[in-house]
Structure 1
Amino acid sequence: MPATHVYIDAVSRRSSGRPDANIREDLIHADRGKTLHEKKCGQNWGTAKKLFEEKKISAAEMRSIGAYRKALVDSILHRLRAQHKNLEFMAVGSTNPTSDYDITIGGAGDTDAMKEFHTIFRSNFPAESGLVFDTNLYVANYLPAREYFTASSLQYAIDQKTFTVAEENVADSARKTGPKDIPDEDCLVFDGITLGNLTSLDQTLGALAWECQDEFALTKLRKYHTGEDWRTYRSTLDAELDQQADKEELRQRLDNANRLVLAYARTVLAKIGVTGVPDTDLENRLEQEENARENTVFAARNDLYAQYADQARRNLRNVWKMPRESETDKQELRGPYRAAMEDLTLSLMFALEAYHSGSAIKDVVVNQQGNKNLPLTRGEYRDSLNDQFGDLLKDLHHYGGDLEGDRKALIQSSKYLKRFCFAGTQLQARTECPLDPSDPTKPLERRLNQFTTLTTKGDYPNGTKLLAIREPTPEFAEFNQSRRNQAAVDEYQKATDEVIYTLTRFKRFVLDLNLRLNHNSRSSTCKKKPLTVSRLMIDSSR
């Protein structure tokens, strides 16, 4: 179906029941956006954002392009929902037209629908949806189904309705192979069988689940912290730990995170026809291929995401069916369970702009964006902290490089800095080890407070305008990029005691916080502090 018909069909459906004049207005709005997107932006969302930042596209024009994007994507989802009656689609996050428009699919057949979406999109556009529209599709692997699909703050895809069909399907369709009742706070990993169900089989398997989540979060940190920086990070954190058992546990988890990152790079390269690359060159070669053949790599990652998500679910079903009566049976679950969970996190690594750990998904997507209150342990907040730090490093690497780029990196990374500070504060509240054991002026505690203020919306001293600059709000919408960059630096200097902003020092401050918070949650000499959250007493042993 030609793209023109696709988007007109979407606007018509979305406007059903509204006066004819309003329907025509929507059509005109989307049509204007379509023309701009094709003629001025070359059907590339990155170009559209760049032109908007350079004031070559007005705010009204950017809203029209955003309206076209939503109409086009929603129309494809309409077609998929007609073919998959039990599926629902939803978007979560900012409604700002410069932000992404990502879709999560819920219900049986979700990966099939994701594959069909890519097939339809590729027949209409010259590149993947992530490049054309900054739209990526996800399946609800780690998300608690009922909580996620009924979150009140969600921006619904297609039209606004209750998601009872999806809830019933996710919770009930596959319970033939699982338990009869799934608590709302359980983490759904496939069909109706949850991570909680699997790990409740045996205490050692439960411990393995926490271990895996730690490693999976570390893959994000490792992916964007390479070479000498990674070796320095490892040795510094290792040296901070006093107990040999803590050191050995950390080394094993860092080794496994490194192994998974190399497996990710090797698999993507093989998918695009590049083989025989030594482990030491895998990441550099993949970066070269991304720069030279961005769309080819994006397409490969989208296909691998669906493939590995399916593979992980099949393997987890097999784990569920394995005998578990004897101690030998329970020990034999460990290998298949770890392999299945590694496939699951590899699928998230293949996904574009996804968290690598279930802990970060629960912390950010469910609790912060979905306004829920799922209880998280100290270790889960550490997982989220490391996931956020990895994404922050990604933005610093992507945008930094010269004076203006370094300043823009501060703006772009502020979203992850805010989430990093939240996870760090929650983690620290669950331990009795201080951030600054030697005290004098408590520099780390002060820095965490300063960065929290920096990423709180408001006026100093209660907050700053950094996140408003990132959106941007109307106050900053007419600023060119250079003025936004300077405004961000001004806010940074207000919130911190830094006279001059440099990306190197900013990165160093966040790294120091990450190292200390990781130490405090990993050292067996740190006392644990249980907290009462919601209706549950949190086990802070992680």
Structure 2
Amino acid sequence: MPKQLQKKTTESPANQAPESTSHLQTRPFADSITQTASGVVSNVGHNFGNIGVQASSKEVIQAKGGKDDESVASGSAPEAVAQVDLNQLAKDNPLSFLNNQCQGKWEEARQYYRQEKITKETMLFLVDFRGQMVGDKSKLVQEVVAQTSEYVKAKNQNLEKQNGLEAGSLGEPKPVKFSAPGSQSPTSDIDYNLKGDGTEFAVKIFNQLFKQQFGYEAGTFFDVNVYSKDFLPDVFSPGNDVGVKKSTAKKNQELIDNFNDPEKQKNLSPQEKEKAEKLKSQQGTEKDPTKVRAGKGAKEFELQSGFDAMDVIGQEIYSLVKMQMYMSIEEWQAYRINAVDGLGAESPIKKEMEEKFDYAEMKYRKYLETIVKGIDKSIPQDELKKLSIAQLKQKREEAEHKEFDKTLAAHNRAYEEKLLEIEELRNEIKVINAQILQNPKNVEQLQAQAQMLAQTVKAMINESLTYANEAYLTEGGVAHVVGTKQIKANLTFSADQYVQAFNENIGDAFKELTRHETDGHGYAAVKAGKYIHRAANEAKHYGQQANEDVQKLDPDRKMNKLGKELESVKNAGKASEANDTGLQIVKKILNVDQPKTDDVKQELQGFAKRVTQSYNLKKHNQE
């Protein structure tokens, strides 16, 4: 580390803002939404009227002639709630509806929708309202962007002074962009993948302002998750479309080729020559006229490959952590045993795999200890160390069931803390790059230091994402799902990255199967459908990259068919109908008489075993 960097402050920036930005933590947030939201949402299609969180559900019910009963106001008695018009309550006062009928949980609103207690129109009304409160154009988000911009400017100025850099050498900060690709269905969440400078600070400020305004974590009240910059570069942000239509690219290339050929150039008109010269000058730039766009809104960028073999192993280990998160202890142990089954007791491949499983369990244990401690700070650290992974997992799950918002708060605070560490490292890299430009001495040494810091940042991103709410943890998982599936980017993946994504989607499939089993085994399968389908596609692409027989990984493409058909009914009308359809699909494709979620999990276990063994055998033989 350069001597200049040793002068930097040791406190995290969100705990102590730079001198010139100390006002950011206490700056009042625009117009208080909780006082009245009518001014915020009056310009949208729906008229939300005067919304004040002080208006109780009881008052609304009385106004409508409903029962004057505390249990109705609190939403604690389903029979009482059924006597009121939930659709009207939601439309008259969505904030009160969410606070009282839904106990501050967006998931409760979804549950009303699944159980057909509110209509699709009402659910979409609530989704629209959510967008006005926390959409990318909302006052809350714009305030976060403004505060982050001021913070980064002041931080850069301090870093320049501390490290003897010329004023302005760290450049103007790129504004934070709130990008939320993905589904817009009635039951979808909002996942903001932030880009720009200061995204680590922006996550903390967003969470703070949201809690001040609504009294809950954003993931609880609106199912909104905010993620800092991860493995995807800023050029990936929506709005930077790259390339042209395939037919246009072909015509442009033909014109350039004709221009470059002396004989063919003679047949070109002056206008065609002028156009060809312009097109030629743009080749190799962001406006390359011969680059083919992948599709509507597609983006292209170079996916950062692993720094070394240890980075690739590290990514795989975190994909295994994701599987542990959503498998039961018994399911995880079954996967471990199945994955090495048949390899032989003395097989070096088996030993390598067991070592990775052990590391994954160490990482998972650290995650559990952090969250359990965050939920109950009174637990002594030495007592935590005495608990088994099964006991820690049980404590976390019990807390999530009883106090969801408190559990989510523990996750968010741990995520924010890790992000501050990442921000400090990224600032060090910024300073080194500025030093190289300002005084290009010891360039190789400084570049090596920056490279080491970048490797550390990448590993810390993996760790930080374990604490983020329902995030993908690996480079392969983030890029394949957020990149190719949601933002429609042109990406080239390695076999390693496909396996990372595969493991994560297997984990997410288990999550949905377990979480929604009480809503119906067929409905749970439908909810897991998109993850099964993604995993099947990733297995196929892995097989193609690794020269592995895809038929061996997914015989008769059974898992692909299962995932594809289940995903196709995910948003199909009533939850009861989705359950019936899901049961029929599982029965048909898996050939079982009385389909259960365990039938799907058993197939996933076998699928995961085949891919895991294939991948590790291939990697060992390559070495």
Global fold match (TM > 0.5): yes
- Given the alignment of the two structures, is residue 60 of structure 1 paired with residue 121 of structure 2, yes or no? yes
Query: What is the aligned partner in structure 2 of residue 79 from structure 1?
Result: 143
Tell me how far 1:131 sits from its aligned partner.
1.0
Note the alpha carbon deviations across 1:121-159, whole angstroms, 9 max, x for none. Answer: 111223211111111111121113212434769xxxxxx
Tell me how far 1:314 sits from its aligned partner.
3.2
Tell me how far 1:398 sits from its aligned partner.
1.8
CA distance in 2, matches of 1:211, 1:324: 30
Query: What is the aligned partner in structure 2 of residue 536 from structure 1?
Result: none
How high is the TM-score relative to the length of structure 1?
0.75
| Candidates 379, 394, 402, aligned match of 2:511 | 394
For residues 428 and 35 of structure 1, do their structure 2 counterparts lie closer, same or farther at Cα, with a shift above 3 Å needed? same
How high is the TM-score relative to the length of structure 2?
0.66
CA distance in 2, matches of 1:6, 1:414: 41
Query: What is the aligned partner in structure 1 of residue 77 from structure 2?
Result: none
- Point out the structure with max Rg over C-alpha: 2
CA distance in 1, matches of 2:96, 2:448: 60
| Candidates 330, 343, 363, aligned match of 1:228 | 330
Query: What is the aligned partner in structure 2 of residue 269 from structure 1?
Result: 372
* Structure 1 segment 142-181 matched on structure 2, within 5 A: 142-150=231-239
* Structure 1 segment 324-339 matched on structure 2, within 5 A: none
| Candidates 351, 360, 363, aligned match of 1:257 | 360
- Unaligned regions of 5+ residues in structure 2, if any? 1-30, 50-89, 150-174, 243-285, 287-298, 434-441
- Check whether the contact 2:318–2:462 (CA below 8 A) recurs between aligned residues: yes
Tell me how far 1:102 sits from its aligned partner.
2.0
Query: What is the aligned partner in structure 2 of residue 3 from structure 1?
Result: 33
Tell me how far 1:496 sits from its aligned partner.
4.3
Task: Look up the equivalent residue of 1:213 and give its one-letter code.
Answer: Q
CA distance in 2, matches of 1:228, 1:497: 25
Tell me how far 1:207 sits from its aligned partner.
1.3
- Check whether the contact 2:521–2:583 (CA below 8 A) recurs between aligned residues: no
Query: What is the aligned partner in structure 2 of residue 168 from structure 1?
Result: none
- Check whether the contact 2:562–2:585 (CA below 8 A) recurs between aligned residues: yes
- Given the alignment of the two structures, is residue 344 of structure 1 paired with residue 433 of structure 2, yes or no? no
- Check whether the contact 1:431–1:526 (CA below 8 A) recurs between aligned residues: no
For residues 151 and 217 of structure 1, do their structure 2 counterparts lie closer, same or farther at Cα, with a shift above 3 Å needed? farther
- Given the alignment of the two structures, is residue 96 of structure 1 paired with residue 190 of structure 2, yes or no? no
- Unaligned regions of 5+ residues in structure 1, if any? 16-22, 154-170, 172-182, 188-194, 200-204, 457-463, 528-540
Task: Look up the equivalent residue of 1:284 and give its one-letter code.
Answer: Q
- Check whether the contact 2:476–2:498 (CA below 8 A) recurs between aligned residues: yes
CA distance in 2, matches of 1:364, 1:24: 32
Tell me how far 1:347 sits from its aligned partner.
1.1
- Check whether the contact 1:378–1:427 (CA below 8 A) recurs between aligned residues: yes
For residues 78 and 313 of structure 1, do their structure 2 counterparts lie closer, same or farther at Cα, with a shift above 3 Å needed? closer
CA distance in 2, matches of 1:80, 1:352: 20
Tell me how far 1:435 sits from its aligned partner.
5.8
CA distance in 2, matches of 1:89, 1:73: 10
- Check whether the contact 2:477–2:497 (CA below 8 A) recurs between aligned residues: yes
| Candidates 312, 320, 323, aligned match of 1:218 | 320
For residues 340 and 113 of structure 1, do their structure 2 counterparts lie closer, same or farther at Cα, with a shift above 3 Å needed? closer
CA distance in 2, matches of 1:379, 1:303: 31
Alignment coverage as a number of residue pairs: 452
1:87 is paired with a residue of what secondary structure?
Answer: coil
Tell me how far 1:308 sits from its aligned partner.
0.6
- Check whether the contact 2:539–2:550 (CA below 8 A) recurs between aligned residues: no
Query: What is the aligned partner in structure 1 of residue 105 from structure 2?
Result: 44
For residues 512 and 148 of structure 1, do their structure 2 counterparts lie closer, same or farther at Cα, with a shift above 3 Å needed? farther
Tell me how far 1:24 sits from its aligned partner.
6.5
1:291 is paired with a residue of what secondary structure?
Answer: helix
Query: What is the aligned partner in structure 1 of residue 275 from structure 2?
Result: none
For residues 26 and 505 of structure 1, do their structure 2 counterparts lie closer, same or farther at Cα, with a shift above 3 Å needed? same
Task: Look up the equivalent residue of 2:567 and give its one-letter code.
Answer: L
- Check whether the contact 1:262–1:279 (CA below 8 A) recurs between aligned residues: no
CA distance in 1, matches of 2:399, 2:591: 41
- Given the alignment of the two structures, is residue 290 of structure 1 paired with residue 422 of structure 2, yes or no? no
- Given the alignment of the two structures, is residue 185 of structure 1 paired with residue 301 of structure 2, yes or no? yes
Query: What is the aligned partner in structure 1 of residue 484 from structure 2?
Result: 367
CA distance in 1, matches of 2:418, 2:561: 40
For residues 24 and 379 of structure 1, do their structure 2 counterparts lie closer, same or farther at Cα, with a shift above 3 Å needed? closer
Query: What is the aligned partner in structure 1 of residue 607 from structure 2?
Result: 513
Tell me how far 1:315 sits from its aligned partner.
4.2
Query: What is the aligned partner in structure 1 of residue 225 from structure 2?
Result: 136
For residues 227 and 59 of structure 1, do their structure 2 counterparts lie closer, same or farther at Cα, with a shift above 3 Å needed? closer
Query: What is the aligned partner in structure 2 of residue 162 from structure 1?
Result: none
Tell me how far 1:279 sits from its aligned partner.
3.9
2:368 is paired with a residue of what secondary structure?
Answer: helix
CA distance in 2, matches of 1:152, 1:56: 42
- Check whether the contact 1:411–1:485 (CA below 8 A) recurs between aligned residues: yes
CA distance in 1, matches of 2:192, 2:40: 16
For residues 365 and 31 of structure 1, do their structure 2 counterparts lie closer, same or farther at Cα, with a shift above 3 Å needed? farther
| Candidates 403, 406, 411, aligned match of 2:521 | 406
Task: Look up the equivalent residue of 2:178 and give its one-letter code.
Answer: F
- Check whether the contact 1:410–1:488 (CA below 8 A) recurs between aligned residues: yes
1:414 is paired with a residue of what secondary structure?
Answer: helix
The CA RMSD over aligned residues, in Å, is 3.4
Task: Look up the equivalent residue of 1:3 and give its one-letter code.
Answer: I
Task: Look up the equivalent residue of 1:297 and give its one-letter code.
Answer: T
CA distance in 1, matches of 2:92, 2:143: 20
- Check whether the contact 2:484–2:490 (CA below 8 A) recurs between aligned residues: yes
Task: Look up the equivalent residue of 2:598 and give its one-letter code.
Answer: T
Tell me how far 1:330 sits from its aligned partner.
8.2
The range that moved more, 425-434 or 251-260, is 425-434
- Check whether the contact 1:212–1:341 (CA below 8 A) recurs between aligned residues: no
For residues 56 and 216 of structure 1, do their structure 2 counterparts lie closer, same or farther at Cα, with a shift above 3 Å needed? same
2:227 is paired with a residue of what secondary structure?
Answer: strand
Task: Look up the equivalent residue of 1:512 and give its one-letter code.
Answer: G
CA distance in 2, matches of 1:330, 1:524: 31
For residues 419 and 310 of structure 1, do their structure 2 counterparts lie closer, same or farther at Cα, with a shift above 3 Å needed? same
Tell me how far 1:374 sits from its aligned partner.
0.8
Query: What is the aligned partner in structure 2 of residue 471 from structure 1?
Result: 571
Task: Look up the equivalent residue of 2:478 and give its one-letter code.
Answer: I
Percent identical residues: 21
- Check whether the contact 1:37–1:65 (CA below 8 A) recurs between aligned residues: no
For residues 325 and 147 of structure 1, do their structure 2 counterparts lie closer, same or farther at Cα, with a shift above 3 Å needed? closer
1:88 is paired with a residue of what secondary structure?
Answer: coil
